């Protein structure tokens, strides 16, 4: 579960450590740091991956917003890779900021809270071929009241005609409603779990994610925001989402 902490929480956590400018998070080789040792109170704090060259992929601001970023980094052992390819890094971004970052078709995408969605698309269920039913299994009925007499002959007092199903166990199978003894598949016996038995399903109404190249991305309250460099006012970045919806619908 994600847990979005405030700037004051991170400041108190950092102040509670032995070093007042760096403290480990005790997971995945992460630390929280000040930008420098002599940074005054109220400055930005950075969550870094020590195994990736101390790259600050999350920056915590004093207005409780975050800046996310990711690029090709040099690792502790001398190699290099795109830090957003790490599932652990993407998970920690979601855990600490509430923004979902995932990889699909070799592309990194971000998904904010309550995103715009694609139009509704009601179609026949592809799982059950619009029948509302799917195949199921009928398991053999077992009776455990069998046993052996003094001569070692197996018998069951409830089912005299039964034969032993296992040499070392006192159970046997009974005939099921389909006239079979062992487990077997039955066609179209269960309600379809994909459409709930209706034969129809909505294949639209999917959340719209944004393609991300790893450049700095400002987020707050699980929403993507942009910074106006002239006024420094945060504004919701809904124009990109609206444009994508229009292009999809058009």
Q: What are the pLDDT digits (tens) for 226-241? A: 644 433 334 444 455 5
Q: Which of 37, 40, 48, 43 is nearest to 62 (CA)?
A: 43
Asked whether 125 and 201 are in contact (CB, 8 A), the reply is yes
- 53-85 burial, b at 16+ Cβ within 10 Å, e below that, comes to eebbbbbbeeeebbbbbbeebeeeeeeeeebbe
**Residues 128-156: what's their mean pLDDT?**
82
Instruction: Work out the percent of the chain whose per-residue pLDDT is above 90.
Output: 59
In whole angstroms, what is the distance from residue 41 CA to residue 15 CA? Answer: 11
In whole angstroms, what is the distance from residue 183 CA to residue 210 CA? Answer: 48
Instruction: Work out the percent of the chain whose per-residue pLDDT is above 70.
Output: 85
Number of residues written out for the chain: 250
What DSSP assignment string belongs to the chain?
Answer: ------HHHHHHHHHTSSSSSEEE-SSTTEEEEESSTTPPTT--EEEEEGGGTSEEEEEE-TTS-EEE---EEE-TTS-EEEGGG-HHHHHHHHHHH--EEEEETTEEEEE-SS--BPPP-EEE-TTTTTSSEEEEEEPPEEE--EEE-TT--EEESS-TT---SSTTSS-EEE--TTS-SS-EEEEEEEE-TTTTTSSEEE---PBPPEE--S--EEEETTEEEEE-TTT--EEE--HHHHHHHHHHH-
In whole angstroms, what is the distance from residue 199 CA to residue 122 CA? Answer: 10
Per-residue pLDDT tens digits for 193-211: 999 999 999 999 999 999 9
pLDDT grade for 30, boundaries at 50, 70 and 90: very high
* 11, 62, 186, 207 from 244: Cα distances, Å: 38, 32, 45, 11
For residue 249, pLDDT over 70 is answered with: no
Task: Report phi then psi at 138, rounded to 5.
Answer: -110, 115
For residue 101, pLDDT over 70 is answered with: yes
**pLDDT at site 228:** 42
Q: In this structure, what token pair is assigned to residue 7?
A: 């700037």
Asked whether 108 and 213 are in contact (CB, 8 A), the reply is yes
Better-predicted residue by pLDDT, 16 or 143: 16
Better-predicted residue by pLDDT, 45 or 245: 45
pLDDT grade for 80, boundaries at 50, 70 and 90: confident
pLDDT grade for 146, boundaries at 50, 70 and 90: confident
Q: Look at the pTM and tell me if it is higher than 0.75.
A: no
């Amino acid at each position: 579960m994600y847990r979005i902490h405030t700037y004051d929480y991170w400041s108190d956590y950092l102040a509670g450590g032995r070093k007042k400018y760096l403290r480990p998070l005790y997971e995945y080789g992460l630390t929280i740091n000040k930008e420098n040792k002599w940074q005054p109170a109220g400055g930005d704090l950075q969550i870094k991956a020590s195994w990736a060259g101390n790259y600050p992929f999350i920056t915590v601001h004093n207005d409780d917003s975050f800046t996310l970023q990711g690029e090709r980094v040099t690792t502790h052992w001398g190699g290099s890779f795109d830090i957003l390819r790490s599932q652990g890094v993407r998970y920690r971004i979601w855990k600490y900021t509430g923004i979902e970052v995932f990889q699909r078709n070799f592309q990194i995408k971000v998904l904010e809270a309550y995103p715009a969605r694609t139009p509704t698309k009601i179609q026949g269920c592809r799982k059950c071929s619009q029948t509302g039913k799917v195949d199921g299994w009928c398991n053999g009925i077992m009776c455990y009241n069998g046993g052996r007499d003094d001569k070692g002959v197996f018998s069951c007092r409830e089912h005299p005609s039964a034969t032993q199903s296992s040499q070392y166990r006192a159970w046997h199978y009974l005939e099921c409603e389909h006239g079979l003894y062992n487990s077997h598949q039955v066609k179209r016996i269960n309600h379809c779990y994909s459409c709930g038995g209706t034969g129809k399903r909505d294949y639209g109404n999917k959340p719209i994610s944004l393609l991300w190249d790893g450049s700095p991305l400002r987020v707050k309250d699980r929403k993507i925001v942009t910074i106006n460099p002239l006024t420094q006012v945060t504004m919701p970045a809904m124009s990109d989402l609206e444009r994508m919806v229009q292009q999809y619908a058009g």
